[in-house]
Amino acid sequence: MRPNDFPMISDVDASLLASAFGRRGLIGAGIAGGLLSSPLAALAQGAPAPGAAEITVDQARSEPIPIVIPALGGDFGQQVSDVVSSDLGNCGLFRPIAGTLPVGVPDFGTYKSLGARALVSGTATASGGALRVEFRLWDVLTGTQIQGTAYTAAAADVRKIAHIISDVIYERMLGEKGYFNTRIAYIARSGPRAHQTTRLAIMDQDGANSHYLSGGQWLTLTPRFSPTSDQLAFMSYANNRPRVYMLNLATGRQQLLGDFEGISFAPRFAPDGRSVILSATRGAGSDIFTVDLVTRAKRQLTSSGAIDTSPCYSPDGSQIVFNSDRGGIPQLYIMSAGGGAAKRISYGSGTYGSPVWSPRGDLIAFTRIANGSFSLGVMAPDGTGERIMTQGFTVESPSFCPNGRVLAFCRQTAAGAGGAGFSSGISTVDITGFHERAIPVGGASDPAWSPLNG
């Protein structure tokens, strides 16, 4: 089978993808995918507050930050405010409060009486298809402007601007990068439980702007974002032969990744984006390989005779965590990125799978199956500190958000007679097990969180 024989999307759809899903990373000073930002002068006495945030994430978990988010002035102001309120409220670390929009320097006493810690003000106006959003963030207790920025972009990018504002608020208030201007690739599922149609799909992290990227002719699984380019790796059963493919989101083009004799599956990118690590069947087992994305050269990393699968790099690219039954039942192992001896790190009851390394490097998330029930948990890379965040009939496919604070995962319910009652959806949960919530996107599985601005 030639790569171009794989039915994905039409040339017309590809051109739409090129404009709708182009890489959204920062390019140059203040420009993000056609969005221009510029600072606004402080209106209150004193300069915008620099330095570290006064509130930590742990503090905000126990007592969410009360923040007033009024409808910003202008034609698009309500849309911006609604998205920002949703972003901050859904993460569980903020408590949005409705209030009136101040003109000029706010009367901070009014907002103190509401119990607010912070305040958002600004305007949103459109002209000739362009949108300008002026945004200010205020510390109500000190009466100072924390941030002031104007964003200019196409009016169609109103939600993107709002997500960026949410990220700014998150970072200025908590001292860590936000994750709202991101996307999640996933598998959209529809139809009866026993005969589901699966489509490669993508959405904003909050479930908005969901789009199919494939037609559903073949079973499709495990999409994975590149950390450095507008590409997805995924597994497809195209022409009933399971293999790994690459999809360029900017052009809509796809190609086969390596022509292995058996089945290739479970792809993930290296941190530098130059190669993909995956599993490929060899006899009754499977081994782990890397594929160079420029030369397409393949390198075999394991040869245990067991089923070695689900490899994932550490953020610095020096190690790989993977799942293997070489000890009798599936457990988690770590080895050097170049291969060699592997060290087992999971020792709890049951079987372990789907390991994924946190972007922070401090945790590995996993799925554990014990006594017929699924659990989603995290542990340190040396196997210590294992803790379970959520459980259920099926909870699997964990994926970290870019700042490592939240996991997306698939939650499925049991099916009754004829498949009745079955559901499959994507949820998120804080790494402490705090604030689990479902993303409103319908039947879905296999979430993969993009890099920031990805």
Name the helix (H) or strand (E) containing 236: strand 231-236
One-letter amino acid at 52 equals A
Q: Is pLDDT of 14 > 80?
A: no
Looking at residue 49, its pLDDT comes to 52
Looking at residue 122, its pLDDT comes to 96
My answer on whether 395 and 289 are in the same domain is yes
Residue range 412-429: mean pLDDT, rounded: 88
My answer on whether 130 and 208 are in the same domain is no
Residue 443 lies in a domain: yes
Residue 8 lies in a domain: no
- Extract the tokens encoding 81: 């405010």
Range of the domain at 49: 25-174
- Extract the tokens encoding 316: 């610095």
CA distance 56 to 4: 50
Q: Of 117, 146, 174, which marks where a domain is finished?
A: 174
Looking at residue 397, its pLDDT comes to 98
My answer on whether 197 and 96 are in the same domain is no
Name the phi and psi angles at 142, rounded to 5: -100, -10
pLDDT classification of 420: cutoffs 50, 70, 90 = confident
My answer on whether 401 and 263 are in the same domain is yes
pLDDT classification of 11: cutoffs 50, 70, 90 = very low
Asked if 148 contacts 48 with a C-beta cutoff of 8 angstroms, the reply is yes
Lowest-pLDDT range of 45-49, 68-72, 209-213: 45-49
**Residues contacting residue 323 through CB under 8 Å, at least 6 positions apart:** 308, 309, 310, 330, 331, 332, 333, 352, 353, 354, 355
Asked if 35 contacts 164 with a C-beta cutoff of 8 angstroms, the reply is yes
My answer on whether 81 and 145 are in the same domain is yes
CA distance 401 to 354: 16
pLDDT classification of 395: cutoffs 50, 70, 90 = very high
Residue 7 lies in a domain: no
My answer on whether 269 and 396 are in the same domain is yes
- Extract the tokens encoding 368: 């554990």
Residue 3 lies in a domain: no
Residue range 193-219: mean pLDDT, rounded: 95
Looking at residue 34, its pLDDT comes to 77
Looking at residue 19, its pLDDT comes to 36
CA distance 21 to 252: 10
My answer on whether 222 and 340 are in the same domain is yes
pLDDT classification of 383: cutoffs 50, 70, 90 = very high
The pLDDT tens digits of the residues spanning 168-182 come to 999 999 999 999 999
My answer on whether 205 and 103 are in the same domain is no
Q: Of 157, 174, 191, which marks where a domain is finished?
A: 174
My answer on whether 146 and 234 are in the same domain is no
Beta strand 319-324 with 331-336 is antiparallel
Beta strand 65-68 with 118-127 is parallel
Residue 170 lies in a domain: yes
| Number of independent structural domains in the chain | 2
Burial (CB count <10 Å: 0-12, 13-18, 19+), residue 45: exposed
Looking at residue 454, its pLDDT comes to 67
CB atoms within 10 A of CB 158: 21
Looking at residue 42, its pLDDT comes to 83
Residue 363 lies in a domain: yes
Lowest-pLDDT range of 11-25, 118-132, 164-178, 280-294: 11-25
Q: Is pLDDT of 304 > 60?
A: yes
Work out the percent of the chain whose per-residue pLDDT is above 90.
Answer: 81
Packed helices 158-174 and 77-90: angle between N→C axes, nearest 10 degrees? 50
The pLDDT tens digits of the residues spanning 337-379 come to 999 999 999 999 999 999 999 999 999 999 999 998 999 999 9
Residue 17 lies in a domain: no
Sheet-wide strand order for 243-248: 220-225, 231-236, 243-248, 254-256
Mean of per-residue pLDDT scores for the chain: 90
Residue range 396-403: mean pLDDT, rounded: 98
Name the helix (H) or strand (E) containing 18: helix 11-20
One-letter amino acid at 289 equals F
Lowest-pLDDT range of 53-62, 162-171, 316-325: 53-62
My answer on whether 234 and 371 are in the same domain is yes
**Residues contacting residue 431 through CB under 8 Å, at least 6 positions apart:** 358, 363, 365, 378, 389, 404, 405, 406, 407
Asked if 6 contacts 116 with a C-beta cutoff of 8 angstroms, the reply is no
Name the helix (H) or strand (E) containing 166: helix 158-174
Residue 373 lies in a domain: yes
Q: Of 139, 174, 209, which marks where a domain is finished?
A: 174
Looking at residue 26, its pLDDT comes to 28
What's the CATH code of the domain at 92? 3.40.50.10070
Name the helix (H) or strand (E) containing 169: helix 158-174
My answer on whether 213 and 294 are in the same domain is yes
What's the CATH code of the domain at 361? 2.120.10.30
Residue range 259-267: mean pLDDT, rounded: 93
Q: Is pLDDT of 12 > 70?
A: no
My answer on whether 164 and 255 are in the same domain is no
Block residue for tokens 């009866």: 192
Looking at residue 33, its pLDDT comes to 53
Block residue for tokens 């109103």: 158
* Angle (CA) 443 237 332, round 5°: 75
pTM: 0.90
Sign of CA pseudo-dihedral 87, 93, 99, 102 = negative
3-state SS, residue 77:
helix
Residue range 179-208: mean pLDDT, rounded: 95
CA distance 230 to 210: 17
Q: Which of 245, 247, 286, 246 is nearest to 263 (CA)?
A: 286
Say which DSSP state 307 is in. B
Q: Is pLDDT of 162 > 80?
A: yes
Work out the percent of the chain whose per-residue pLDDT is above 70.
Answer: 90
More reliable by pLDDT, 77 or 49: 77
Q: Is pLDDT of 3 > 70?
A: no
